[in-house]
Amino acid sequence: MFLAAAAVQLWLTRRRGALAVPADAGDATFQAAFYAVNGPIEEGFFRGLLQGGVGVLWGAPAGFAIGTATYVLYHRLGRWSWEETLATALVGVPLGLAFWLLPGPPSLLGVSLVHIAATCGFLGPGPYLLRRLRLL
């Protein structure tokens, strides 16, 4: 997921012509640590509370739809462009489906780990590596 997210960021960057890249490896490491905290918090809220809670009240399809749509649109609050906001659907939809459809009781562990990998590829460490590899 890290590589897929970095590839999406590379494509978006080439379209818009600009990207914020961490200043150095220390900054990229700090950002990765932040995302390791942020990912589980977002998943706990959007998958656990929204998708799980709405799913209990109105059924799993409604929980998936409301949880995923809210997750994607939430990123627009951070002043992300519409392209970047919709790119979060490339992660949000599969994570919502995994939370809903995988056998066994719903678990936030797996979706949180994938979320962390995707965020690190799309922001911070991913763009830093793209710059270091001279792909940007």
Instruction: Read off the amino acid at residue 131.
Output: R
Structure tokens at 92: 């949000």
Q: What is the pLDDT along the chain (136 residues), one digit of tens a residue?
A: 999 999 999 999 888 887 878 888 888 888 899 999 999 999 999 999 999 999 999 999 999 999 999 999 999 998 888 998 999 999 999 999 999 999 988 899 999 999 999 999 998 899 989 988 988 7
Both tokens of residue 27?
A: 């900054």
Contact 123, 11 (CB under 8 A): no
Nearest one of 112, 71, 66 to 88, comparing CA atoms: 71
The residue type at 62: A
Residues 40 and 37: their CA atoms lie apart, in Å, by 6
Question: pTM, whole model, 2 decimals?
Answer: 0.90
Residue of 8, 22, 11, 30 whose CA lies nearest to 118: 8
